[in-house]
Amino acid sequence: MDSILSVRNISVKYQTSRGWFPAVSGVNFSVKKDEVFGIVGESGSGKSTLCMGLLKLLPTSAQVEVDSILFDDRELSGIKEEELRRVRWEGISYIPQSAMNTLNPVKRIRAHFYETITDHEGKKSKAELERRTYEALKRVHLETSVADQYAHELSGGMKQRVCIAMSTLLNPKLIIADEPTSALDVISQRTVLEILSKVRKSTSASMILIGHDMALQAQIADRMGVMFAGYFVEIGEVKDIFRNPIHPYTQRLIRSIPSIRQKENIHDLASDELSPEELERFKTPRPLIEAEKGHFVAEFK
């Protein structure tokens, strides 16, 4: 299966009062066409920084170094900001963390949709704007009447679905969903995941799904990458990672799943199980080797 996205040797560091802090270190990965690639790891592991770095959405305190970002057979690493802006939404749609809180409280929902379309495609007739808005809302199982409501009139789950609907407006080939179920109750989490899965299939888009709950991600992901300390420690088919987790950190992450569902902190359950020697050893990025066909693990001995 061909890749829609292939990233080679990306690193991100932040300028702090104490000097440069490495957040992502020499990461390589790819996303295949028509697949959901899950990126899982505890808070601070570099998941969001990695994907925001690809799209140059990080603050000025961040510095990104990368050899290659090949998207749909086009090299993105050296293109200008104006060109990259066109790639965002039209080619790669990014749903940020807490996306539902980015909705303008004084604008009706339809205004958000109209502006997204016209900002990228220019002036359109009111009839076309309305048609595309209604189609997008129906895609995420929302009534068209939602278009006339304000964000404060919607539940958290409905606002998140509005953001998902907006991400599909320009028919992107890749959707990046960053913690799309955070701050939602269990029922809403399941609903949002089911909708993301249906949207991906109906639009034929590939997807990167970022999160901290392996069990939740496994419901719709085809492959999964486990991040720790700014690099991938394991990448493979979801079924292979759960059947045969190889890296010690992945093993601890899987053992912590029942407690994660009880909303305990993943850090307390996974990282804290590592010995000081393991923690120090794992913090040093190691190259991935193919342990089984399509199943890669970072050296750890």
pLDDT tens by residue, 154-191? 999 999 999 999 999 999 999 999 999 988 888 889 99
Is pLDDT at 250 greater than 80 in this prediction?
Answer: yes
Architecture of domain 3-51+59-91+170-298: 3-Layer(aba) Sandwich (3.40)
pLDDT band at 275 (very low <50, low <70, confident <90, very high): low
Alpha-carbon separation of residue 267 from 44, 128, 189, 210, 248 (angstroms): 10, 48, 21, 16, 14
Six token digits for residue 271: 């990282």
Six token digits for residue 87: 């790639």
197 phi/psi in degrees, rounded to 5: -65, -45
The confidence score (pLDDT) of residue 94 equals: 94
Average pLDDT, integer, range 238-248: 97
**H runs (alpha helix) in the chain:** 47-54, 81-90, 109-121, 126-139, 156-167, 186-203, 214-217, 238-243, 248-255, 257-260, 266-269, 276-282
Please report, for the chain, the start and end positions of each structural domain, with discontinuous segments joined by +. Answer: 3-51+59-91+170-298
Separation CA 135–CA 165 (nearest Å): 9
Is pLDDT at 55 greater than 50 in this prediction?
Answer: yes
The confidence score (pLDDT) of residue 300 equals: 87
Q: Do 49 and 23 contact (CB within 8 A), yes or no?
A: yes
By percentage, how much of the chain surpasses pLDDT 70?
A: 92
Mean pLDDT of the chain: 91
pLDDT band at 125 (very low <50, low <70, confident <90, very high): very high
